[in-house]
Amino acid sequence: MEATTTDGKKFKSAPRTIQPLELDITIPTLEGQSAGFVAPGETVKVAGITVTDKNGAKLQSDQITYSYQWFYKLGDNSFTIIEGAAGSTYTIPKDAIEKDIKNIAVTVKAKVGLSFAESKLSDTITVSKQPTDTLTKEIKALLVNDNKYNVSSLAEFSAKVAELEKNYQSLSAAAKGNVSNYDVLKRALADVELITKLNEKWSKIETSNEKEIKELEEAYNKLDLLQRSLDVDETLYTSIKKLLNEPNDLEEIKEVRKLNQAIINLLSYENSLVKYVASDVDSLQASVKTIEADIEKLSQSYRAAVQNQAILSEAKSDIKKVEQFIKSFDKLATNSTPNKQVTTAKSIRTAYEKLTYKQLKLVPDVYVQRLTTAERAEESQIINLNNVIDSYISDDVYPFNPSAGSWQSHVNNVNQMIKEYKSLTKPPQHKLMATIVLLPYRKI
């Protein structure tokens, strides 16, 4: 740099070398996706870009200009440019899947002055209707036909539709447009609310209040067939009729209400998963027996008014299946050979995987631990066998010099090793090689 004063004196600074920028850019990430999926019509946005200078120069954000290029995948490894897709956002075409645009990615180029850097390709995201297709199928399954819901218990059905609504509301506006039967879910939510309110009203009515009983009957009579299908086994209808015909049976009506709540309290709900409040079969069995005994105390006409008896029937079925599963462990003796333990554990594992979530939660942890231990029964046998084989084999040379008297003993040992190896249910392939090395020695 050179400067001149007013009186003509000149000054010149020492020369300084300006290092050219060597830009580095991170791989971009994408926003607007859910679990790696994006639906047709949704917009994806580039995010997570950081630009630095390898030599340490500090860059200001307003110094950096970006350009973008979107791609979709062809075959296994190649990508092709999406024409016109050069912005920081990209809206998935409605017909993307039909045009085979199923996996998309982006690169970003950063420029500062004359220097630039281009990122590697981002991770791909999959264009799919899978989340909305799954939701659509689950909503469809709410109905048996136009006049009947697929319901065995109002409590379980209520939890199911609440979870479906939560899943629907978590979708983007574009993804919601792909759920073609949301009206069914919306109707189910309204119907559940209506029937729940009628049940609550019934549970609070005093038998002497004939006006409220009549109003409840009129409200029930306005229900259409689809709404009435939520009144499983017509228990609410039966209860209303009982109030009308026998308004003085206050004690039995109170008992029915108590039993209805007791049955509902057998279950708890974790998102869309249903499990029993009881943590084991014995506790659940005791609760079921108590409820059944109390139902038996009711007069014959009031037993039918007890709601959600399907939950009781299912609980008894689940208890039986879990008891049968636990019984299968009688075949799993700890003094059995490792081979037999692994074989038996395999059949038990198959039965375990067939249990429902509710049933699995009733299986004590100790049985799961026993199953896992049995499945690994051969591991210690393999370790011991490897150690014995290693003692016979070292750098392809047998580390012993048998005498005529000891020869047969070594042959017997090798035969035993090979017998144990062959008894394994799934012998590791690399151990097979060790056994092959022993074979010539056995034959000498």
Tell me how far the alpha carbon of residue 391 is from its chain's centroid: 47
Distance CA 434, CA 140 (A): 58
Alpha helix locations (H) across 170-249? 173-176, 182-204, 210-221, 225-228, 235-245
Please choose, from the candidates 381, 248, 263, the residue with its C-alpha nearest in 3D space to the C-alpha of residue 311. 263
pLDDT at site 148? 93
Determine which of 56-65, 198-207, 213-222, 318-327 has the lowest per-residue pLDDT on average. 198-207
pLDDT at site 90? 92
Q: How confident is the model at residue 171 (pLDDT cuts 50, 70, 90)?
A: confident
Q: What is the mean pLDDT of the chain?
A: 82
Strand 103-112 with 125-127, pairing: antiparallel
Provide the whole-model pTM. 0.56
* pLDDT tens readout for residues 246-271: 655 667 777 887 888 899 889 887 76
Q: How confident is the model at residue 444 (pLDDT cuts 50, 70, 90)?
A: very low
Q: How confident is the model at residue 137 (pLDDT cuts 50, 70, 90)?
A: very high
Distance CA 160, CA 189 (A): 10
Strand 125-127 with 37-38, pairing: parallel
> Stretch 361-386: mean pLDDT, rounded?
83
Tell me how far the alpha carbon of residue 420 is from its chain's centroid: 40
* pLDDT tens readout for residues 79-106: 889 988 999 999 988 888 888 888 899 9
Q: How confident is the model at residue 10 (pLDDT cuts 50, 70, 90)?
A: confident
Distance CA 364, CA 386 (A): 35
Q: Compute CA distances 279 → 153, 276, 314, 330, whole Å.
A: 21, 7, 16, 22
Beta carbons of 38 and 64 less than 8 angstroms apart: no
Question: For every residue of 287-332, which 3-state class applies, written as one string?
Answer: HHHHHHHHHHHCCHHHHCCCCCHHHHHHHHHHHHHHHHHHHHHHHC
